[in-house]
Amino acid sequence: MRVFAISKRIIKQFLKDKRSLAMIFVAPVVLLFLFSYILKQDDTKPKLALVDAPPVFENVIGDYAKVVNVNRSDIKGQLEDKKIDGAVIFTEGKIIVQFEGTDTARTSAVIASIQDATKKMAPSNVKLVLDPIYGSKNMESFDSIGPIFIGFFSFLFVFILAGVSFVRERLTTTLERLLVTPVKRWEIVFGYILGFGFFALIQSLIITVFSISVLDMYNVGNAWEVCVVNILLSLTALTLGMLLSAYANNEFQVVQFIPVIAVPQILFSGIFSTAFLPDWFKIIGGILPLTYGAEALRGIMIKGQSLIDVALQLAILLGFSLLFIVLNIFALKKQRSI
């Protein structure tokens, strides 16, 4: 009977905790749906532009790709904007395959479709020449998604650091004592940001240096610019972690936020390609900070862009941080002791 009494108490306790119930029953279903939708992309036919293609190739490639009409002078721009996935140029017994180069799923789909089509050409003695706009034709998958991992791990661990540390400040009543002093709420928020930000800065530097110098991750940009993007991304994670921790009663409840915050960032930041998903599905990525951090990191490391070129992504990350800072200040007005 005592065993049943303990079990009954646990069940009643969980039934009162709506957040835990959502984590157990709702979150797995939603995340499984997102994973299945992204990984089961049925329409994987790439969009290809053809230049001087023989009729036999034009007839065959339609089974493996969507052929679009693009002027030869516009091919590079269309590839950079990802309006087309690849271009096939026939010249002097060679097939030159041009592609953007930063999305491994697009690249694989383009090459596979052309290889399947050329196998049906008889005789097929043409040479396939890969010509990526960015990166290298020998670039591995890890080099393509490596910048995203840099951003993701910076984001994840700073988020956990900020959330758990801020809750601990409340549990030890340190924050409560600060609130009864003349110190203004915005000063408390910025003080915590600077304190936690010091460690976030060191972490960003370590991750960047380790990835580029030790792991020899593909990088054609400036390492210090990679650090700047990483620091801004960490600032966003820091302010978001502080904000969400204001609504957690203990460290365990902070951990509960990880599946909701971290997993969607993995799905929509580029680690899993969304190239062949409908546009409405990609909108979700537009509200996630890591999407913009990943774009900026890829732009610098793979495309060789500068901070000016990725200024829009940096501005959006800064906007996220400022929004979370303002919300943190308002959250302190409703601060309660635990």
Give the whole-angstrom CA distance, residue 198 versus residue 200: 5
Helices (H), 172-250: 174-179, 185-209, 223-245
pLDDT digits (tens, 9 = 90+) for 103-139: 777 877 888 888 888 777 655 566 778 888 887 766 7
pLDDT digits (tens, 9 = 90+) for 162-171: 888 888 877 7
Q: Is the per-residue pLDDT at 329 higher than 60? A: yes
Q: Is the dihedral of CA 149, 150, 153, 158 positive or negative?
A: negative
User: Percent of the chain beyond pLDDT 90?
Assistant: 12
Q: CA 111 → CA 218, 271, 296, 324, distances in Å?
A: 21, 20, 26, 43
Residue range 180-191: mean pLDDT, rounded: 82
Domain range annotation of the chain:
47-132, 143-333
Q: Is the per-residue pLDDT at 337 higher than 50? A: no
Q: Is the pTM of this model over 0.85?
A: no
pLDDT digits (tens, 9 = 90+) for 24-57: 777 677 777 776 766 665 556 788 888 888 888 8
Give the whole-angstrom CA distance, residue 200 versus residue 202: 6
- Indicate the CATH number of 47-132 among 3.40.190, 2.60.120, 2.60.40, 3.30.1370: 3.40.190
**Tokens describing residue 112:** 């596979």
